[in-house]
Structure 1
Amino acid sequence: MAALAPERFEGPGDAASAALDELSRNFTYGASGTGNGSLSGEWYRRNQIHLFGVLLAILGNLVISISLNIQKYSHLQSAHHEHPRPLFRSMIWWGGLVLMAVGETGNFAAYGFAPVTLIAPLGCMSVTGSAIISVIFLKENLRASDLLGTTLAFAGIYLLVNFAPNITQNISARTVQYFFVGWQFLMYLILEILIFCILLYCHKRKGMKHIVVLLTLVALLASLTVISVKAVSGMITFSVTDKMQLTYPIFYIMFIIMIASCVFQVKFLNQAMKLYNMTMVVPVNHIFFTTSAILSGIIFYQEFLGAAFLTVFIYLFGCFLSFLGVFLVTRNREKEHLQQSYIDFGNIPGKQMLDKIQPDSNDLSYGSLPDGSDSTTSQSGEKKKV
């Protein structure tokens, strides 16, 4: 009878306790030992997998920066032709598109090795990197705000890597299932759906097209995207040792959520880009996206579980520095490319401005210069023939 005791039936309570035991083995935040939460040798030894994820994210964002500049170069090259060809016929544009896919793949893989709260803020690398590359290869102007913004962004990245949650998780299917039915995530999901429906009603029925409304819709969808991307990437990474991970229904549920949220996220983001210029959309979208990703990592994956107050404060300060850096890099960048295509003679001393530069569009002489019959009034009030 004693030999049969270990083979007892495992009920729902036993399955929950087993999942909790697995989570307790995964979470290592606050573990004893020197170097916890600092860039010491012990920290490096325990967080090598995190650093690998950080490296993937940084390289992925740099590749995205290169792809953005290549696509921008293809647009400029097409604009200089008298009869521009469609972009899909340009090999340069296709090269930029392929590099974009490679960079996004690197970001996708990074979520499988490092926490969401560490990978998501590194998106500022694509903005600052794109500014630096455009100065080198596209010969754009290097401004003081670009240097200051890049410096602040790098300082923020250093603080993020140093003080991000020191937590190691093996994202298995059982772990995702446990998080998915947790009361924290269910309450967060209900609140997010409620806010999303209200904003969608205001946008569709009331015609509200403010940038905050559109990018809040993008951010709400982005939180689901980040959660599902980390779940899918983590289960694929975990399937190297356990082939059964990809047979769980939760894998396909998360995969569908990832695809659907990405599609609608791009839709609302494109609407914002059509109504507002890039200097407004890029920094606001980066702030909203990063904030929603951090919240999803805290609520769904509980990545700040047991974190000290000082660690959280310095981490948030690093996020603030990266936000400020992105804002400085993108500030007034598009206005520098506006060229004045005419000369305002009215502002030149000693020159007289014509009453009528050319006839009205309804006149038969529209498009011709004014003849000698036109007159203008000098500063002394006397009429002079042109």
Structure 2
Amino acid sequence: MENWTADAAENFVFEKLAKGSARQEADGERSYKTYLVGIVIAICGNFLISISLNIQKYTHVRQSQRGSKPYYTCVLWWVGVALMGLGELGNFAAYGFAPASLIAPLGCVSVIASAVISVAFLKETLRASDILGGALAVAGTYLLVTFAPHTTQHITAHAIHRYVVSWQFLVYLGVEVLLFCVLLYLYKRRNVKHIVVVLLLVALLASVTVISVKAVSGMITESVEGNLQLIYPIFYVMVVVMVASCAFQIKFLNQSMKLFNATEVVPINFVFFTASAILAGIVFYQEFYGLALLNIFMFLCGCLLSFLGVFLIARNRPQVKTERPFVDIGQVPGRRCTDKVQPEPSSLTYGSLAGDKGQTESST
């Protein structure tokens, strides 16, 4: 009787362990599938964004050459805008399935695809730096996907509450606020218009954006799966933070595009944004917790290769030439000129009387 009882107890423990192991294996397989879904959505979203940018660029070029209606009256331009919105929606959804430290670097897919599409669609020149940069970016993307954290977190309102009051995030937020105030003082009061200052402001805001976007996307994903999270106030707090940080981020990014060339803004902004997103994922969501040292090293190597690839692709991109009208003043009576082309808007004499003064003196 005692032997039977001991055997029954042993079998009961064995069955429990087997069921627990099977449950863990099923959860691990489900987590890995969710992780892959996030990667696929992010890649497709960035690919749609690259198509959208090229469509809008093509519309601008065509409308400037024809000199007819404004670009926003063209149906093709609105198709590009719709694709842009769909791609951004895909990126938003991807944060609910995969770690933020992986989704952000996958933005290099948009740069690679845009360079390839522009060659076929806009007839731009394929350079050796484009090929090398694309190869480096693809290799970096492979390392990112392979060695990034594969665990998928359940983003619930209680988890967000716990992350917000953690000492790591409070210290991180304090440092970010202090640094943002210093940079804003230099930019606004001291009139320091350096590209690093402006894009650091964008990156600090992007860090908050990534945290809030992942929180909102994750809680929506949990709600869709049956665990309702939209009844908690923290969800709406994160929505407000997401909208506000996105608005100010776009504002500073547009100012950087006005002050500097796109070939400078694109690679530097990609590096700063990716670094801030990875740091936000590490500090707030603790995505690197328990990750092996080799995985961390290879993940950082993948980021470095992606940064270098984007820099090579974006560096000195050839500009698409548009036909601009010029004013021929060679036939004006009593006036002499050495150039029949209207001065560039960026020249020092554009819109001033300097050119007319020189011509008047030469004629007299």
TM more than 0.5: yes
The answer to which structure has the higher helix fraction is 2
CA deviations 1:317-346 (Å, max 9, x no partner) are: 00000000100101111468599x9xxxxx
- Corresponding position of 1:61: 46
Preserved CA contact (<8 Å) 2:133 2:309? yes
- Structure 2 counterpart of 1:59, one-letter code: C
Residue pairs, 1:171-190, within 5 angstroms: 171-190=155-174
The alpha-carbon deviation at position 81 of structure 1 amounts to: 1.6
Tell me, yes or no, if structure 1 residue 357 matches structure 2 residue 338: yes
- 1:53, 1:102 → 2: CA distance? 15
Closer, same or farther: CA 114–361 of 1 in aligned 2, 3 Å: same
Choose which of 203, 207, 222 in structure 2 pairs with 1:219: 203
The alpha-carbon deviation at position 121 of structure 1 amounts to: 0.3
Preserved CA contact (<8 Å) 1:358 1:366? no
Residue pairs, 1:64-103, within 5 angstroms: 64-82=49-67, 84-103=68-87
- Corresponding position of 1:287: 271
- 2:116, 2:305 → 1: CA distance? 18
The alpha-carbon deviation at position 251 of structure 1 amounts to: 0.1
Residue pairs, 1:196-235, within 5 angstroms: 196-235=180-219
- Corresponding position of 2:254: 270
CA RMSD of aligned residues (A): 2.7
- 2:308, 2:321 → 1: CA distance? 23
- 2:204, 2:29 → 1: CA distance? 34
TM-score (norm 2): 0.81
Preserved CA contact (<8 Å) 1:279 1:334? no
Report SS of the residue matched to 1:244.
coil
Preserved CA contact (<8 Å) 1:149 1:328? yes
- 1:363, 1:215 → 2: CA distance? 41
- 1:43, 1:137 → 2: CA distance? 43
TM-score (norm 1): 0.77
Residue pairs, 1:105-116, within 5 angstroms: 105-116=89-100
Unmatched tracts of structure 1, length 5 or more: 1-31, 34-41, 342-355, 371-386
- Corresponding position of 1:322: 306
- Structure 2 counterpart of 1:357, one-letter code: T
Preserved CA contact (<8 Å) 1:49 1:113? yes
- 2:217, 2:339 → 1: CA distance? 64
- Structure 1 counterpart of 2:60, one-letter code: H
Preserved CA contact (<8 Å) 1:185 1:299? yes
Choose which of 306, 317, 333 in structure 2 pairs with 1:333: 317
- 2:222, 2:358 → 1: CA distance? 75
The alpha-carbon deviation at position 300 of structure 1 amounts to: 0.1
CA deviations 1:44-87 (Å, max 9, x no partner) are: 775111111000000000000000000000100111023x3222
Q: How many residues align?
A: 316
Closer, same or farther: CA 277–334 of 1 in aligned 2, 3 Å: farther
Preserved CA contact (<8 Å) 2:124 2:320? no
Decide which moves more: 357-366 or 115-124. 357-366
Specify the structure having the higher radius of gyration (Cα): 1
